Amino acid sequence: MSTNAKVEVLGKSDNPAPADLSTAALSALYRIDEFEEIARSKLSEMAFAYYAGSAGDGRTLMRNRSAWEELSIWYRVMVDVSSRSTATTLFDKSMAFPLLSAPTALHKMAHPDGELATVRACGSAGIPMVVSSLSTTTIEEICAASTGPVYFQIYIGQDRGFVKELVQRVERAGCAGLQLTVDAPVWGLREREMKTGFRVPEHLTIANLQRTDHLGPTGHVGVGIAETLGWTITPSLKWQDLEWMVALTKLPVMLKGVCRADDAVTAVRHGARGIVVSNHGGRQLDGAPATAEALPRITEAVASRVPVIVDGGIRRGLDILRALALGATAVQVGRPILWGLSVAGEAGVRRVLEILSSDFDRSMALAGCSTVASITRDLLHPRG
């Protein structure tokens, strides 16, 4: 990548792109919020607004974090936690601890190594990566660089033929499953992106949505989320479309963007093999419930039948413990990965995952849990 390209990615006018933090500097960071502060200083205003932004006034974004904090841990004592295991499985695939890298777009806008840095870091940490369909690296390249399970996030857009071809590509590449995002019949009102004039930088492409025919845009032309990516979604999505996608592939299809128990039950009935409790990181409907509020209703309804994953506002290992106590199989984190990537590429993502992993292990010990299976609902009571 040229110097000019790096400058455009990181948004620093005529100066060289800021250097990645050293190993020593990374080891002195202990909180995810510290990575966000450094990322803000390194990224352009447009890039940071895209990653950090929310819909409307950002109430759901803020509530995603505060809702976890309201859950007190009624820890156990006199439990032998001298030997602990954070390991678990998802669709019979091993995970070092119950966390996935959530699908987030445009990793090369954060760092020149983009999604390849992220997937290598996830492999080192023993966790899966969920690749966004809006990635800046092809799914084939990402899977070739992976040492662990890779899942693919997908939309059902206006061109069903293109969606079918993309599913076939994902299967051939060796992905372990799909996350079908269903909370975006239209794009949310993202005023922060509008004010900063969000667009995909000219030297980058949304690699998995490139088209060689004459039928439509390539997926990265225009200003603003609606112009740039409007063709990737459709307001006509129905339950029959989930059945259509399930029939296309042998891969397990998880439904991402669910906040209601009745929708979760219906999803399972129509073939979903997993549920992802998510409000798109507060980027779609401002006013949607926090995922910590939605999670227990959904796990009570379907967790005995399919895995339930949750994302939104998770910044501590203690939040992972809270989610599992509410019945989740695992959690996903998105923005923390982007902050680590922005700060130091692969090494930055590895450090973020190390912080979350060690904090989860410590939280288990302090709560009196020696295994993931011992994290049960009786650990939690809402404050007050």
| Chain-centre distance for alpha carbon 5 | 26
Question: What are the φ and ψ backbone dihedral angles of 160, each rounded to 5 degrees?
Answer: -65, -30
* Model pLDDT, residue 7: 31
Q: How confident is the model at residue 197 (pLDDT cuts 50, 70, 90)?
A: confident
What is the tally of structural domains in the chain? 1
CB atoms within 10 A of CB 147: 11
241: left (phi over 0), alpha (psi -120 to 50) or beta: alpha
* Model pLDDT, residue 36: 97
Q: Taking residues 280-301, what's their average pLDDT? A: 96
Average model confidence (pLDDT) for the chain?
A: 90
Q: What is the CATH number of the domain that holds 362?
A: 3.20.20.70
Catalytic residue among 214, 270, 280, 381: 280
Contacts of 373 (CB under 8 A, 6+ apart): none
Cα separation, 41 vs 37, whole angstroms: 7
pLDDT of residue 6 exceeding 60, the answer is no
Residue given tokens 């190594």 in the structure block: 113
* Model pLDDT, residue 381: 79
Highest mean pLDDT among 149-163, 178-192, 349-363: 349-363
CB 8, CB 203: distance < 8 Å: yes
Length in residues, the chain: 384
Taking the CA atoms of the chain, what radius of gyration do you get in angstroms? 20
Cα separation, 367 vs 365, whole angstroms: 5
* Model pLDDT, residue 315: 97
pLDDT of residue 281 exceeding 80, the answer is yes
Helix (H, G, I), strand (E, B) or coil at 73: strand
Cα separation, 4 vs 17, whole angstroms: 9
* Model pLDDT, residue 382: 63
Residue given tokens 């040229």 in the structure block: 2
Mean pLDDT is lowest, of 18-22, 122-126, 207-211, 274-278, for: 207-211
Tell me the percentage of the chain whose pLDDT exceeds 70.
90
Cα separation, 50 vs 43, whole angstroms: 10
Q: What is the extent of the structural domain holding 222?
A: 3-382
What pLDDT digit, counting tens, does each position of 311-370 carry? 999 999 999 999 999 999 999 999 999 999 999 999 999 999 999 999 999 999 999 999
* Model pLDDT, residue 213: 58
What pLDDT digit, counting tens, does each position of 67-121 carry? 999 999 999 999 999 999 999 999 999 999 999 999 999 999 999 999 999 999 9
Q: Taking residues 156-167, what's their average pLDDT? A: 91
CA-based nearest residue to 123, from 103, 141, 150: 150
pLDDT of residue 280 exceeding 80, the answer is yes
* Model pLDDT, residue 233: 83
Q: Taking residues 170-180, what's their average pLDDT? A: 98
SS3 content of the chain, % helix, strand, coil (to 5): 45, 10, 40
Active-site residue flag, 280: yes
Tell me the percentage of the chain whose pLDDT exceeds 90.
78
Give the residue ranges of DSSP H helices in 214-334.
225-229, 239-248, 261-269, 291-302, 317-325
DSSP type of residue 19: P
